[in-house]
Amino acid sequence: MKYLLDTHVIIWWLTEPLKIKKKARQIIADPNNSLFVSAASIWELAIKSKLGRIKLPYNLIETLNHERIQLLEISGQHALATIDLPLIHQDPFDRMLIAQAKYEDLILMTHDRVLQKYVVTSILA
């Protein structure tokens, strides 16, 4: 299966994996699953780091690659896909994750129950 991990899941996987629900941890740990992180999440993490809310590893992309988490770039098609989303969530980062999950046919792994209101396959982390 193919999963898009939201920003909180990435933070927790790298720092406090026990915050993630057991089923979600098993999915992440399973080498048969393909894991992705959006460039939007990397951007959000960079902002949070600059504001002093989190501490990022110096080599974040390498760390994610070591964890088998692939970078999903933002394409023009992803950006346009946000047009079709209802205004359930105002956060542009989260809206991009929903658009990417739908467009790329990925299962969104999230801790945010509001995101699960969108018509996208998701799993609660």
CA distance 76 to 22: 35
Confidence check: pLDDT of 21 > 80: yes
Angle at 101 between CA 99 and CA 102, to 5 degrees: 65
pLDDT given for residue 121 in this prediction: 86
| Residue 22: per-residue pLDDT | 97
pLDDT digits (tens, 9 = 90+) for 94-111: 899 999 999 999 999 998
Q: Which pTM value belongs to this model?
A: 0.92
pLDDT single digits (tens) 55-92: 888 899 999 999 999 999 999 999 999 888 888 878 88
Instruction: Tell me how many degrees the CA angle 99-116-28 measures, rounded to the nearest 5.
Output: 80
Burial class for 82, CB neighbours closer than 10 Å (0-12, 13-18, 19+): middle
Domains of the chain: 2-124 (3.40.50.1010)
Q: Per-residue pLDDT for 53 more than 80? A: yes
For residue 59, give Cα distances in angstroms to 3, 29, 42, 84, 120: 22, 21, 12, 35, 31
